[in-house]
Amino acid sequence: MRLHCSPWIFRVIFAILLAPVLPPIAQAQVIKSGPSSCPGVALTFDLCPVRKGTGYAQALVDYLIEQKIPATFFMSGKWMARHEQQVQALLHVPFFEVGTHGEAHAHLPLHSTEEQKQEILGPVRLLKTKYSHTATLFRPPYGEFNDETVNVVRALGLQFILWNVVSGDPDPTITASQIEDRLKRFVRKGSVIVMHANGKGKHTHEVVQDLHEHLLPERNLTPMTMSDLIICNGTAAP
């Protein structure tokens, strides 16, 4: 059987075969962990706005400072507006890292591209103008995002940070032992653990203490900031 093709089809085929290979358009990489070869773990804490309470786990932060445990905090704009003193304190700890977490903790996929941009930019601008701090890390509220979110984050030059280990610490129905058991199942080299430092985690302080004193040393894992974890061993995160 003879295959009959019109001349334009052959021209298209030859054009594809002869065309230079072009690099793909750069996109924001959604980072969920560090390199699997890295003997480190990122302890990350979201600072979301709260309706009740102080909105800040002072005892937890004091413990991190006393033990010199590197940690990364993701601050929302509304939380920052109510916690100026705490923002200043966190920025001055040399082994802490500060990222952003949206302005009002909105569900980003429900908003237009421009609305997402403004939600993401809120705390970035505040850190720069009020605290002379350039934010490089962004974590979407609720871990929710769509293609527009990724494109906006890329355009703003931020690193898109998620996680691969959920502590579940804001859930008032689970115990410290249940959280610790969950972490024992999932924490490994390169893990990024999501927790909260806004007072919503009833057992977060206790869990972090157990991580520091038992789980991480037993597995020869070292706490790192998110940025250090990403480039650990000179290998970029997957």
Q: Give the model confidence (pLDDT) of 171-223 as tens digits.
A: 999 999 999 999 999 999 999 999 999 999 999 999 999 999 999 999 999 99
Residues 43, 226: contact at Cβ < 8 Å? Answer: no
pTM above 0.85, yes or no: yes
pLDDT at 139: 98
Compute, in degrees rounded to 10, the torsion defined by CA atoms 92, 165, 106, 153.
70
Q: For all residues of the chain together, what is the average pLDDT?
A: 89
pLDDT at 7: 36
Compute, in degrees rounded to 10, the torsion defined by CA atoms 77, 81, 82, 84.
110
Query: What is the rounded distance in angstroms from the CA atom of residue 146 to the CA atom of residue 233?
Result: 31
Task: Walk me through the domains of the chain, giving residue ranges and CATH numbers.
Answer: 24-231 (3.20.20.370)
Give the residue ranges of the chain where pLDDT is below 50. Answer: 1-27
Which amino acid is present at 29?
Q
Residues 225, 71: contact at Cβ < 8 Å? Answer: yes
pLDDT at 233: 73
